[in-house]
Chain A
Amino acid sequence: MVIVLAFLTGGLYACGLYMMMRRSIVKLIMGLALLSYATNLLIFTVGGLTRAAPPLVPEGETVPPVPFADPVPQALILTAIVIGFGVLAFAVVLIEQTHRSVGTDDSNNLRGIEGES
């Protein structure tokens, strides 16, 4: 599965970057979303895959029964997911507002509009 996930991560990066390099600002958002999936998956895969139980300590014990999944990358990804959403939400609204103010969805036409609207 590691090999499959490695290709999946690479593929997500490629798709995300390709979308971000489009001139359409709508595609830019899609690319951003794909890129954040890709990064989460990257951390997850590199952090060590295991089909073991989640890192939970049963009642009456002080340590989880081995083997258990590594909690450290999970904590990182949890943060990354939420922050990724914050960034995406902000970007979506910003681009929507930009489009409304400027009236174009071509990022080439966004230059030199500072101070105009």
Chain B
Amino acid sequence: MLIAVLSGFGFSLAAIWIARIGRLRGWLFALLPLILTLYFLSFTPAIIAGEVITASYTWVPSLDVQLAFNLDGLSWLFALLVSSIGTFIFIYAGAYMADEPLVGRFYAYILIFMASMLGLVLADNLITLFIFWELTSFSSYLLIGFNHKDDAARKAALQALLITSGGGLALMAGLILLGLAGNSFEISTLVAGGGVAEHPLYVPILLLILTGAFTKSAQVPFHFWLPGAMTAPSPVSAYLHSATMVKAGIYLLARLTPVLGGTDLWHLLLPAVGGLTMLVGAYLSLRQVDLKRILAYSTISSLGSLVFLLGLDTPLAAQAAIVYLVAHSMYKGALFLIAGIIEHETGTRDVTALGGLARIMPAVTLAAGFASLSMAGIPPFFGFVSKELLYETTLGLQDTAVLFTTLAVIVNMIMVAAAVLVFVRPFTGAIVETPQTPHAVPLGLWLGPLALGTGGLAAGLLLSQVGSTFIAPAVSAILAEPIEVNLALWHGINPMLILSIVTVLGGLVVYRYRHVYERISSRLDTSERWGPAQWYERGLDAVLMLGQLQTRILQHGYLRVYLLTINLVVISLVGITLVTRYDFAGQLPSTDLHFHEAVTAVIIAVAMIYVLFARSRLAAVVALGVVGYGIALIFVFFGAPDLAMTQFAIETLTVILMVLILYRLPSFANFSSRGQRTRDAVVALSVGALITTLVLISTTIVQPSLLTPFFAENSVTEAQGRNIVNVIIVDFRGLDTMGEITVLSIAALGVYTLLRLRTPSQRKVDLTAAVETGEIAEKGKSEEAEGVQ
């Protein structure tokens, strides 16, 4: 099972090369999902028998994360949908993107998506599930933005990513809390254990997980990313944004129903949000003229119905949800593919600019007819069954039967009108002039939609087998108990049938008078100004503004203010620690002082103070040199002749370099006010005092070195050198010295490049001087590198 999940990732790496084979690439790529479909179908007897197939691989043992997969009825149904619809999508995409140069990249992305989606529905571990969940968001981002030169596509991709991964963050928090509350990260254990609903953390867990599921499944008020995502190529819209990925939230809710469901909050939130989404999606769908946007909004409406049904969590509602889900995946996937064909062939997706396509593309028309009939809920199509079950569920509600039945009827009427709209306008009537002249549609394009459309018909005709094979195991998995499913087309004359007839007739009326609908609805509509999409825009702007603001405060670019901040922080942190934690014993280091040492120290002190007040640059450089030579003398006094020699050499070089370069810089200027100088002096003196204190304290703590004896003993025997300092540098720590020489060479290159860099006007004037100083700097580098050795 691991191979089944991960094969998609593997193939995505090779996709760019496989795509080179030319026209047949779509069929070739489709082999993988086809094999997966057959693989999952091979489990059919076991699944019907109620078995659960598990497979577990250790992944991150230290965090107790297992790559645990669990194939039960629900996972199996989703895995079948993902792989079987994937097969048709892959064939379709081969023909749809025949002339697309980046088709290899497209297949790589969509393979990643397919593998992630399989991983998501099969995962038994919450963390594994979350990782696959995020991978689907990520691949969706890549696929929506596939036409990366299109500004709108990039924007839509970012929007979808921000919304779904924002929900993903909430989901992660919710899943971790759930794992802690339920004492296990394995879903199967959580389902068996129970007790999460009584846990004090139940409310935050539920709210967080619902946020994740609602963003992914485009529930109000997060729905607006889905129509935006229609900038993706049509196979992506069909696959990700109607048939599979947007159902991930539905899957999660169904999966966790036994763990989180059954509470008042669950019964309140899911039907409320789902019901609202149903209505908003349906209402907006009929206001569109773009074929894909009509379908996108009706998808939102369907997703709302699914959330609504899962929120009721009765056996009948679960059954209705699963039937609806399967029916919707088939007809909506088909319709999106057909929208893609229409755009591909005619160059437009505007339903008002289309007509008479039935004569040009008969196979596509047949597929569109099947899909639309299923969407409208006409018997014997599978969509009819799902609508009957929906009505049966709402009629069976106790207090809210009237409310929700009315809602469902209104929504379904609009859906019928939308189904009529997407079929009648493009395909019937006279042939309309379009931007491109449509040709005969190749097999690769019409096969997928026709198969999916026919699937809706076949499922309706073979209803009882479909019910017991596919629906019953999934429903049993949702409710965590065996459920009998008896589906039938004909139940006699009952309220559901009457409602269905009313719905279809009402839908036709809505379609006939959709101009009136349009006029009323546009007057009611305030979502242009106050819709959630606008809040998203405003939120995004606010985040960018906040970023600019804090950059201006923290990253202002004034070096001395940075220094001031750093120094103040160091003083306060170290100072406070010293005062509160350190016990001053009054102990001081030895006070013996030789006369020549005292004289040197006084010279250094005078020179360094002179640097501060020097008016001329040359004098300051000389004073700096005095400080350096003075320190070299101190090295001599305290047994460090190597240091002294290096310091003398480097000091000489420094003075020469400074004199040569500084004369080209302006003389000292006082830019700051007296107050600023005083403030800086106080801060600098405090740091100095802090350092003095630290030195005094640390020199009283005498600790025998562990390194010194080692180097002293091994210098001659191991490294054959008598100067221990040199031996350390070139032998024991030879690699460090290598690194240091590299740093110096890079610095030398930098110096050289900077000196050669000239603004055009200055080039001639400075040429001679530049060559001179450049050479000197270079020479200095090589000498000092030798000095180390």
Contacts and interface: CB of A to CB of B under 8 A. Distances in A.
B256 interface: no
Contact of A54 (B588, B640, B702, B785): B640
Contacts, number: 299
A49 B689 CA distance: 20
B695 A6 contact: yes
Interface in A43-102: 44-46, 48-59, 61-64, 68-72, 74-75, 77-79, 81-90, 92-97, 99-101
A101 B712 CA distance: 52
B722 A56 contact: yes
Give the most central of B559, B591, B593, B620: most A CB within 10 Å. B559
Contacts of A46: 695, 698-699
A23 B667 CA distance: 13
Contact of A6 (B594, B699, B785): B699
Contacts of B593: 1, 4
Contacts of B662: 26, 29, 92
A41 B634 contact: yes
Contact of A9 (B563, B594, B692): B692
Nearest to B692: A10
B688 interface: yes
Interface in B585-604: 588-594, 597-598, 601, 604
Contact of A22 (B560, B654, B713): B560
Contacts of B713: 62-63
Interface string A1-35: 11111111111111101111111111111100110
A16 to B, nearest CB: 8
B634 A44 contact: yes
Instruction: Select the residue from A12, A50, A56 with max chain B CB neighbours within 10 A.
Output: A56
Contacts of B736: 79
B70 to A, nearest CB: 55
Contacts of A19: 611-612
A85 to B, nearest CB: 5
Nearest to B681: A18
B27 interface: no
A100 B597 contact: no
B608 interface: yes
A75 B733 contact: yes
B23 to A, nearest CB: 48
Contact of B757 (A12, A83, A97, A111): A97
Interface in B681-702: 681, 683-685, 687-693, 695-696, 698-699, 702
Contacts of A68: 639, 712
A78 B642 contact: yes
B708 A86 contact: no
B42 interface: no
Interface in B723-754: 723-725, 728-729, 733, 736-737, 740, 743-744, 747-748, 750-751, 754
Contacts of A83: 740, 743-744
Secondary structure of the B contact surface, majority rule: helix
Nearest to A25: B665
A111 B558 CA distance: 8
B609 A62 contact: no
Nearest to B752: A93
Nearest to B556: A111
A106 B684 contact: no
A50 B687 CA distance: 27
Interface string A101-115: 100011110111000
A72 B692 contact: no
Contacts of A41: 631, 634
A23 B671 contact: yes
B202 interface: no
Contacts of A54: 639-642, 725
B780 to A, nearest CB: 7
Given A37-B627, A41-B634, A85-B654, A20 B563 contact: yes
A72 B711 contact: yes
A81 B759 contact: no
Contacts of B664: 96, 99-100
A72 B591 CA distance: 24
A12 B608 contact: yes
Given A6-B692, A13-B687, A107 B558 contact: yes
A16 B338 CA distance: 74
Contact of B558 (A29, A52, A93, A108): A108
Given A11-B605, A75-B725, A44 B640 contact: yes
Given A14-B685, A96-B665, A82 B725 contact: no
A59 to B, nearest CB: 8
B630 to A, nearest CB: 9
Nearest to B762: A100
A18 B680 contact: yes
A40 B564 CA distance: 22
Interface in B627-682: 627-628, 631, 634-635, 637-643, 646-647, 650, 653-654, 657-658, 661-662, 664-672, 680-681
A10 B691 contact: yes
B567 interface: yes
Given A18-B612, A96-B665, A105-B665, A37 B638 contact: no
Nearest to B604: A8
Nearest to A41: B631
B216 to A, nearest CB: 41
A72 B728 contact: yes
Contacts of A14: 684-685, 687-689
Interface string B770-789: 00000001001100110110
16 contacts: A1-B592, A6-B695, A8-B605, A11-B608, A17-B683, A20-B560, A26-B666, A34-B611, A51-B637, A56-B722, A79-B740, A85-B654, A86-B747, A93-B777, A100-B762, A107-B558
3 nearest A-B residue pairs (beta carbon): A14-B688, A69-B639, A10-B692
